[in-house]
Amino acid sequence: MQKYLLLLFISAVRFGFAQDLHLSQPDLQPLVVSPALCATNATFEIQGAHRQQWLAAGAPFQTQLLSVHARSKKVRPNEGYLGFGLQVQRDLAAQSLSHNALRLHLAYHLPLNRNSFVSAGINLGFGQRAFEPSGQWGGQYNGLSFDANILPSVSLQNRYAFSYLDAGLGFAYAYSRGVAREKTLSKVLLGFGAHHLNKPGFSFLDASARLHPRIAFIAQAELSLASVHSALEPLLFYQFQSPAQELLLGFAYKHYLKGGPFSRVSNVQSVGFGLYTRLQDAMVLQFKFQIQQLKLALAYDITVSSFAKAPQLQSAFELQLNYSFE
């Protein structure tokens, strides 16, 4: 099974596009959506993610992400501020195909009034893709057994590792309005990101093949339900990378165990459950928990597409862990 998965990924790159960032909880990794969402939540925040896709396969596709956000100090409440971000990404497929990337993010957030602000951001990155030709290939079978001395039948033209530069930009709008005496708070966030604008080379088999730009859009909200000390969190996420596209939509229900929407984060404890659908692909079940500055979220994908007929290509697991400093 491992060699078939590996061939699947290499074939994808052969035709000019590649496996890009793919998460079931993109709102918890905002830099995946747009560089304009850098440092919008806290003075300093660390966000980590681990995802394993196709769990039944002998070597599932894995993604790890680590993001760090920091913001500049505001002299006056109504002035803008800068957001700085660092993102490290690692992908591993079939234990042979790896992708590592480092991206720097810069955003500027400008208040429009006491309830809303607009943001613009850019990112610059460096990545490396490597292939370790281990395992057994059909062309290495000599009629009696697999012979490691026979070169694999797939020619990579000596491109077992290569590096690339990356660039992107984004914009965002955020609105927040609360009534403390009624303990109600409404938040809306819209984000847009355009990634890989320089179309970096991304193929082992064809040096002229380019990675298509990835366009991402997110719309999310938090709507307080004061009567039950809870909140609804609807989410819509769409991304397009020719010829593939993805639409994720659904909502989460959050219940405050301690504190509320106007409490300092150090006084908040909450638990939440989410249900989402990735159209023509999977249903996503989510559980999340917050203890003060620490947020933990778990997601499990249930495949409903044609891949459901292949047990090895079903399901995915995703863990997200965020910590913010006030």
Alpha helices in the chain (DSSP H): 2-14, 30-33
Closest CA to 203 of 4, 22, 18: 18
Q: Which residues contact 188 (CB under 8 A, 6 or more apart)?
A: 174, 175, 176, 219, 220, 221
* pLDDT confidence of residue 20: 76
* pLDDT confidence of residue 13: 43
88 bridge partner residues? 66, 102
Token pair recorded at residue 277: 């659908």
Token pair recorded at residue 164: 């690339």
Q: Which residues contact 81 (CB under 8 A, 6 or more apart)?
A: 71, 72, 73, 74, 108, 109
Q: Give 150's DSSP letter.
A: S
* pLDDT confidence of residue 14: 43
Judge contact between 82 and 38, C-beta under 8 A: no
pLDDT tens string, the chain, 326 residues long: the values are 444 444 444 444 443 335 577 899 999 999 999 999 999 887 899 999 999 987 665 667 889 999 999 999 876 778 899 999 999 999 988 767 888 999 999 999 999 998 999 999 999 999 998 877 655 555 665 666 666 666 555 555 555 778 899 999 999 999 998 776 656 678 999 999 999 999 987 776 666 778 899 999 999 999 988 777 899 999 999 999 988 899 999 999 999 998 877 778 778 899 999 999 999 889 999 999 999 999 999 999 998 876 555 555 568 899 999 999 87
Q: How many whole angstroms separate alpha carbon 86 and alpha carbon 136?
A: 38
* pLDDT confidence of residue 250: 97
* pLDDT confidence of residue 153: 56
298-306 long-range contacts (CB < 8 A, ≥24 apart) are 299/24, 299/25, 299/274, 301/24, 301/53, 304/280, 305/280, 305/281
Q: Which residues contact 11 (CB under 8 A, 6 or more apart)?
A: none
Task: For tokens 């249930």, name the residue.
Answer: 302
Q: What is the CATH number of domain 2-132+161-251?
A: 2.40.128
Provide the whole-model pTM: 0.84
Closest CA to 65 of 86, 49, 51: 49
